[in-house]
Amino acid sequence: MDTLDSTPKTPSDTVRTLSPLPGPADFAEYYAPPEQGRHLRANMVASLDGAAQLAGLAGGLGNPADRFLFSLLRGFADVVIVGAGTVRAEGYGPVPPDESWEGLREGLPPVPPLAIVTRTLDLDFDAPVFTEAVAPTIVLAPGGAPPERLRAAREHAEVITAGEATLDFAAAVAELEARGHRRMLCEGGPSVLSGFVAAGLLDELCLTLSPLLLAGAAKRILNGPPLPDPDELELAHALQDDGFLFLRYTRSR
């Protein structure tokens, strides 16, 4: 029989309140990447009940502050990584410059290239994401992809092959780093992010928590098999805007 003595006690030494800051928060200051070493961060958005999509798209979950952060994180990046399914669903084009990047890209090209993760190379090479890219688009694919599609990709993009039947995420990241892309930003989708997490490559997760309850069968921010050794990240900061939470989690290496 339970007694009052067995009632769980509040862990007062660790629980803290998250109070609003007394003034506005500077996103550029809070999200500045490390100055040295390879750094892979992901930027994702989810509803309160864990849905990573609204009507099949991630974009509908955000607000103006989330969209500002989306562009700002691109401004910090040497390369923006995204899955082919997300490129098709969200209508991706090449990364455009943004006035919020002032002072962020000193010594870097005007825009980071987009790196598209694909298994089958089912891509439209006549689409603006290839034909209008200022920085040539990169394709990350397994070496066992259809040879004719690999040849077509090499005519329209910089191609990196890693792995055979499926992409070797660790090898792909190492190849990107070898080509000077130290600061990497992954924008999903959930299957691609799951691949980076399973390979132990994710250094930072920037998660916007949208104040919506959606239910349904939408994917979570990770879509892959269970991890036998789950990652545990540390909360670096929590910011809020109009009911939205901007959470930044990091992992020490």
φ, ψ of residue 209 to 5 degrees: the values are: -100, 110
Burial label, 109 (beta-carbon count in 10 A; 0-12, 13-18, 19+): exposed
Per-residue pLDDT tens for 89-137?
899 999 999 988 988 998 899 999 999 999 999 999 999 999 999 999 9
Q: Does 55 fall in a domain?
A: yes
Domain range for residue 243? Answer: 41-250
Q: Does 23 fall in a domain?
A: no
Cα–Cα distance measured from residue 192 to residue 84, given in angstroms and rounded to the nearest whole number: 9
Q: Does 138 fall in a domain?
A: yes
Q: Does 4 fall in a domain?
A: no
Q: Does 34 fall in a domain?
A: no
Q: Is 186 helix (H, G, I), strand (E, B) or coil?
A: strand
Percent of the chain at pLDDT exceeding 70: 91
Q: Packing angle between helix 169-178 and helix 190-198, nearest 10 degrees?
A: 90
CATH number of the domain where residue 56 is located: 3.40.430.10
One-letter amino acid of 6? S
| Residue 104 vs residues 100, 107, 187, 218: alpha-carbon distances, Å | 9, 9, 19, 35
Domain count, the chain: 1
φ, ψ of residue 198 to 5 degrees: the values are: -60, -30
Q: Does 212 fall in a domain?
A: yes
Per-residue pLDDT tens for 52-75?
988 877 778 999 999 999 999 999
Cα–Cα distance measured from residue 193 to residue 180, given in angstroms and rounded to the nearest whole number: 21
Per-residue pLDDT tens for 214-229?
998 889 999 999 998 8
Q: Does 15 fall in a domain?
A: no
